[in-house]
Structure 1
Amino acid sequence: MIIPTKNLSSSNVSCSNCEACCCRLEVMIISDTGVPEKFIERDQYGSETMMRLDDGWCAAVDRETLMCTIYENRPWICREFEMGSDECIDEREKFL
């Protein structure tokens, strides 16, 4: 179910309608949470980010369920990104 963007609020967002919009953001890995190596990209300076596929989606997202396949080992930034927060609503409005 897609919620019209003009009516988005934190009370409209739940796990059942999330659409994983935040999984299109660049995610820096700033602490060791156990992210599997196959999902990590490193730049020439050694900075680590979550690998994204050609279309911009995080490589750890299951495309059919839009669920994180490494949820227990997701980066700290993903853990701190709160569903229904202002940042969440802003990202949803960009993609829905």
Structure 2
Amino acid sequence: MPVPADSEDRATISCSRCQACCCQLKALVMADDDVPQWLLTRDAHGMEVMRQRDDGWCAALDRDSLRCTIYARRPRACRDFAMGDSDCRAERASWRRGAASLA
């Protein structure tokens, strides 16, 4: 049974031990972001977003290391998604529920 998002201890969360579940979220790119053009696309609403691969993972994610290949140039949406905050914990809980349902 997954741990509720609000009860997961922030101190135990680390991007280095995560499955990069946030890298499956749509990341809006703002005009002042310095993201390489080849990683950008437009969504159904015409907003500029990070390109995702056919399987839903961000195109900037290194699939072997689960690390961002443009970390220093990642968009503000990614910078603002703070490790261990309530959004992070909620997404981790949601990802675990989805993974558990596939098992």
| TM category, shorter | 0.7 to 0.9
Q: Secondary structure at the match of 1:5?
A: coil
* TM-score normalised over the length of structure 1: 0.85
- RMSD (CA atoms): 1.9
1:52 matched to which residue of 2? 52
* TM-score normalised over the length of structure 2: 0.80
Structure 1 residue runs without a partner (length 5+):
none
Following TM superposition, by how much is the alpha carbon of 1:53 offset from its aligned partner in structure 2, in angstroms?
0.8
Which of 2, 7, 10 aligns to 1:5? It is 2
Q: Which is further off, 41-50 or 81-90?
A: 41-50
Between structures 1 and 2, the one with greater helix share: 2
Alignment of structure 1 residues 29-48 onto 2, 5 Å: 29-43=29-43, 46-48=46-48
Following TM superposition, by how much is the alpha carbon of 1:67 offset from its aligned partner in structure 2, in angstroms?
0.3
State how far apart, in whole Å, the 1-side matches of 2:93 and 2:8 are: 8
**Counterpart residue type for residue 8 of structure 1:** E
State how far apart, in whole Å, the 2-side matches of 1:54 and 1:16 are: 24
CA contact under 8 A between 1:5 and 1:92: conserved in structure 2? no
State how far apart, in whole Å, the 1-side matches of 2:52 and 2:45 are: 18
Q: How many residues align?
A: 93
CA contact under 8 A between 1:35 and 1:75: conserved in structure 2? yes
Percent identity, please. 44
**Counterpart residue type for residue 95 of structure 1:** W
Q: Secondary structure at the match of 2:65?
A: coil
**Counterpart residue type for residue 5 of structure 1:** P
Structure 2 residue runs without a partner (length 5+):
97-103
